[in-house]
Every structure is written in C-alpha cells, then in structure tokens.
A and B are shown apart, each in its own frame.
Chain A
Amino acid sequence: MNVLAEPSLPPALETAAMWSDSEVAGAGIEVHDVPLVSVGGGIGSFVTVDYLRIAGGLTPVDIRVLSRQRRAWQAYKHLATVSQIPRRGRIRSDASSRPDNIWGFPSYAWQEAIRDWNPGPVFQVLVEPVLADYYTPRLQDVVDSLDREARRIGYDEMLVLGNVEVVRKRLGGGYFTVLRPECAGSPRDGRPPAAPVVYRSRDVHLAVGYPGLRFLPDLQRFRERHDFHHVVNAYEDHEHIYQALRRRPGTVLVRGAGIVASQVLERLIRDRREGGSATRILHLFRTYVADTHGPHMWARRHGKDGFAYQGFNYPKSVWGGQLRARMHDLEGPERVRAYEEIEGTTTPWRQHWQNQLDRARQEGWYQSLNGVIGDLTWEQGAVVARLDRPDEPHSAALVRADYVIDCTGLIGEVEEHHVLRDLLEHGGAARNPLGRLDVDQRFRLRGAENGDGRVYVTGAAAYGGYFPGVDTFLGLQIAAQEIVDDLAERRHCRYFGPLRSFAEWLKWLTGRQI
C-alpha cells in the first residue's frame, strides 16, 4: 500500500527524503509552525507532553499532538476492555505507575484508600508481593486520572485530530509532518478527502502504539476459509462468544499463557459461576511451564501448571533497578541475549485466579494441553485443531472446540506502520538488534537527526533498545524524562530541579491548571 498515493502530494515530494520550504509551499500545502509535534496521541504522547509541560515548562502553543483519537487512553482502554479487563477490573501495572503523575506519588493505592476511606490498598502495597498479591489500580481509575490531568495541562489545546502520513526531513533542519485532518469529510460522504496539512517543527516525537493484531497463520487460514466468528484474537471484540456460551454449553480452546489468557479464563469462569453457562475450557500452552525455571540460581522465575509467573510485563528492576542499569549500554548480540533472558510470556500470580483454576481442575471442566496448532479446520459444526505436541513428536492430537480464543498478541513489526516504514525508507532510521527502531539512550532515533532537529521514539516501536520497559506506562515516563532532559541540554526547555519539582507537585496535588 502506498500511503502517499492520495492525489494531493506531488510525486516530487513523495520520493524525496528531504523537502525544502519552497517545495512544500509550491505544492500548495498549508504549513503550521510549532517547535515540537508528538505523533500518536496515545499514552506515550500523553506522558511525554505532560512531562514537557510540567518539567520542561513548555506552553500549549509550543506543542502539537497529532492523533486519530480525542482521548489518550482510547486505544489502550479498547484493547484492555476487549481482552477482558472489566471497567471495575484491575490492570497489570503497580500503584506508582501513574501516567497522569510524573512523580508516581501519591500512588493509585493512596488515592483509592483515601477515596474509599479504606486502608486496604495502602496496606497491600506495604506487604506486596510477600504477603499479598501486588496491588494494581482499577482500569476506570486510570482513565479518570488521565482525564483530570488532560484538563490540567490543557491537552485539548494541543490536540489536532487526523492521520499522520509521513515525517520527512526539512532542508535546513527540523521536520515536516504531514497530517490528513479528520472531520473535514470522508470519501464516503461523497466529499473529497481533506487536503493534507503540514506541521513544520524542530523536533518530532513518535508513539504510535501497535500497528495491528497478530493473526497466526493457522488462524488466518481458518478465517479465510471459514469465518471470523468461531476463531478470534482476544484483542478483537469477541463478546459474541461469551454470549453464545451463556445460551448453549460449549467448549472453548484458549491459546496463550499471558495475562490476556488469564483474563479470558476469568471471564469464562465468572460466566459459569454467575451466568449459568456450562463451558468446558481447553487451555493450550506452547511452552508448558511446570516449575520454577531459569538458567542459574540467580535467574529463576516462578512457574506452575503451565504458566510462568511475574508481577508485571518485565522483571521489576527494568524500571530503574539493576536490570535497567545492566542493559543501559549493551549492544548487539549481548543485548539480544539479555532480552532472551527476561523474555517469555508471563502472567501475574493472583490468588483468586489460582483458586478459580484449582476448582475448575477438580471439577473437570478445565484441561491444559501442551502443543502448537498445526492446522484449524471446520468439521461437522465444530472447529478442529490439529495439535503438534512437543512431548510426542510423531503423534498429532485432534481437539474439537466450538470456539478458539487466541491470546498470543499484537503486531509489533515496525514496517507494518506506514510512518515508521517511511522513516526507515526515507528518514535515515535503522533497526535495532530486535528489528524495531534503533534509538539511543535518550530515545533519539539514530540516523534521523537533522540539523538542530531530533526525532524521539517511544513505545512499542522502540522496544529492543537499551531500555526494555519502554512500552509500559512507567517506561514511557522514564523515556519522557530522558527526552525532556535531552531537550533541556539542547536548551529548548527548562531543566527540572528539586525546588521546581516540589512546586509543580503541589500544583498537581491541588489540581491547579498549568
């Protein structure tokens, strides 16, 4: 797909890696000047802009957020909700991972304790994870807190709705970011698509999230041959499966061992308990983890019943502890090895999940399987999965189910996103050892610097760099801190010292607009 195939960008611009002011003016494209644009408008843009406003002292006129969504939490909340975190449900990250508060204090646990007049959450943080599971905030509280902070920093004043098509270097330094504005009508209304506009900026920040959902080949083949209804990715809306199972008993094959699989299991079990469904669950593990595992005594992760257990997406020391320090200057194969050590799908240990599954096993309606799906077919009104099993290499097992819920994830490949791919093709960007975009310790995209201008990349596209935690709330904040410190060193914003930090925190606490 050629993203520049829309009629309005002249071919000369489409192919040139560097654009001049006069070329852009000559093409008749409207130009807006702003020091910094953030492309994406998700959580990554939000925390970066929040940091720039609070710590960097920039004003709303210094920043434009170019996004397809009005609220920073929309993409995240959508994925979290369809993957079965209910509105009142709890997310994965901890009390002080607060995308709405750069200090992480007071934590979500304090907020919840004070609001509900119940010391439970604070006590839980005190004893986690030794005597209790990790405290994690409720999804809705996270969303509400982001809305509050958005109002406080004037987020809407900085927001421009539309689809970003490309970021190209500008002759003389800085960048042009091409945006096709939303709202001005779509081809379906019979109106021509809105003319693109260009943001001319010194710096660009990119946090564009995941390009799409991952459909493994077996799943894709099934969906091409049969339907989209019986075999789904857990990150797409699949409420119809739960509804159908409430009406008629059935068997579900759940694939995957991460937190999404745990959440899907919780939903299926809750529907059995509260909704009266009689679902049988087959749970397929590609790598069945039976026990605590790891290469040596200082690198052992807890595991049991197929699952590998870990509180958060990464070992906790990734966000500032020893793992972050260790990876801070690992290059090439060494870095890949370090990633391999911490990789592997994990889910948190939550006592109520353990109890639910124990009961399900005892009552015989939950069964775990070890293997890989070789093929999925539709036979006599059911999905039939042919399993290749590592323990018995020459015997494939056939498993019948009414539905398959695949919990294996999202696509992170950068070439799937047109802006990122364009940066690889025209922007001088290169890949890191894990294939994503190569950023330095300050999240500057290597090869994309232009005169006084820099491109910063955070979120999934920067995974594989010196900082593995970059695609999490707290990781995005760590990255934002590095970016703002870099801008301060480049003398484009203020340095954030202890006194101002305290003063700004007081404003946050009292909800003062900045």
Chain B
Amino acid sequence: MVPTLSGRIQTRLFLLAVIGWPLTMLVTPLLPLAGPMPDRYRATLVVLAAVAVLGVGWELLYHLLMQWRWEKDWPTLFGLVTLLPEGLLVWLLGSRAMLPGLTAPLDLAAFAIHFVLVWLATWLVANGPMRVVYVRWRFRGGRLL
C-alpha cells in the first residue's frame, strides 16, 4: 500500500484499535509489571493511546518526508524502522510520567515488549492480511472511509 496522508492516519488508528487494542488486552497480564491489574491496564492502554495520538503528528512528518521521494511511496522497511523514533518518544514521555493518565513512570522492559509486539503486529497486518479483508484499501492510499 502506498499511502496518502488521510490513508496513513486512518490506517494507523484502525489498526491500533482492531489489532493493537485486543493484543494489549491479551498481553498486559503477562508483562513484567507490578501492581494491581487495573493499574497495569492503565499503563499499557495509555501507551497505546499515545501511539495513536502522537502518531497523527508522526504521520504528518512522514508525509512531508515522503514528498522528497520521487515515487511518493513509503517502503516496507520505513514502516518498520519508524518504530525506533516513535518508541523513543513515547518512552521519554512515559518514563517521566508525562503521558496524561499515567499514575507512575513506565517500566522499561514491560514497555519495550508491549510496544514492539503491537508495532510488529500492526505492521505485519498492514503488509498483507489487511488487503485480504479490505480489498479496496490498498488502491485508496490506505483510506478506509
């Protein structure tokens, strides 16, 4: 899929909701987190929300960067390695408890496992299975609406 700006944003939000959220619900109890279950869920869901909200900003930046590419495409690899700056930003904010809704700073190991799992799952789905279900999606720059 070669994205348009609105397609990028829609795809991100959709995949975080449909893949990222259930995955988060499943893995949170298994993460190396201390504290009562509601607090643990709070920590992981805040991270998920941060990836979604900050992600809109990131998508604007990616869209701008894409303009320097003749093909106006976004290689598969870019979709994977953008994990690093995005993860870093969420971590910097989360480890200082600067994400709204967080009651305590994030734990590094739990954050890293959760973030990478969600990222890989959404990236994998975006690179194949997504078009099996939404057959028009790849021809509309990733737009679902």
Contact = CB atoms under 8 A, between A and B. Distances in A.
Interface of A: 55, 96, 102-107, 125-131, 294, 297-302, 310-311, 315-317, 319-325, 478, 481, 485, 496, 498, 501-502, 505
A136 to B, nearest CB: 15
B70 A300 contact: yes
A102 B133 CA distance: 11
Nearest to B139: A320
B140 to A, nearest CB: 6
B141 A130 contact: no
Contacts of B1: 320
Contacts of B140: 320
A301 to B, nearest CB: 5
Given A127-B77, A316-B73, A321-B72, A501 B2 contact: no
A249 B72 CA distance: 45
Contacts of B20: none
A106 B128 contact: yes
Contact of A501 (B73, B80, B135, B141): B135
A302 B71 CA distance: 10
Max chain A C-beta neighbours (<10 A), residue from B2, B70, B129, B139: B70
B82 interface: no
Given A105-B132, A315-B70, A481-B135, A321 B77 contact: no
A381 to B, nearest CB: 45
A299 B70 contact: yes
B36 interface: no
A103 B71 contact: no
21 contacts: A55-B135, A103-B131, A104-B138, A105-B131, A105-B132, A125-B76, A126-B76, A298-B67, A298-B68, A311-B71, A315-B70, A316-B71, A317-B72, A320-B138, A321-B141, A322-B66, A325-B141, A481-B135, A481-B136, A485-B136, A505-B132
A310 B71 contact: yes
B3 interface: yes
Nearest to B71: A316
Given A130-B77, A320-B141, A321-B2, A301 B70 contact: yes
A298 B133 CA distance: 34
A315 B71 CA distance: 4
Nearest to A320: B139
B135 A102 contact: yes
Interface residues of B, number: 29
A478 B141 CA distance: 12
A308 to B, nearest CB: 10
Q: Closest 4 A-B residue pairs measured CB to CB?
A: A321-B2, A317-B72, A316-B73, A316-B71
Contacts of A317: 2, 71-73, 141
Contacts of B76: 125-128
B88 to A, nearest CB: 21
Contacts of A485: 136
Contacts of B28: none
B135 A103 contact: yes
B132 A129 contact: no
Given A317-B141, A320-B1, A478-B139, 4 more contacts: A129-B75, A298-B67, A321-B4, A325-B141
A299 to B, nearest CB: 7
Contacts of B78: 130
Contact of B68 (A127, A297, A323): A297
Interface in B56-72: 66-68, 70-72
Contact of B72 (A107, A322, A502): A322
A318 B48 CA distance: 32
B132 A502 contact: yes
B80 to A, nearest CB: 8
A58 B75 CA distance: 36
Contacts of A104: 131, 138
Interface in B113-145: 128-129, 131-136, 138-141
A496 B135 contact: yes
Nearest to A110: B128
A324 B80 CA distance: 25
Nearest to A312: B71
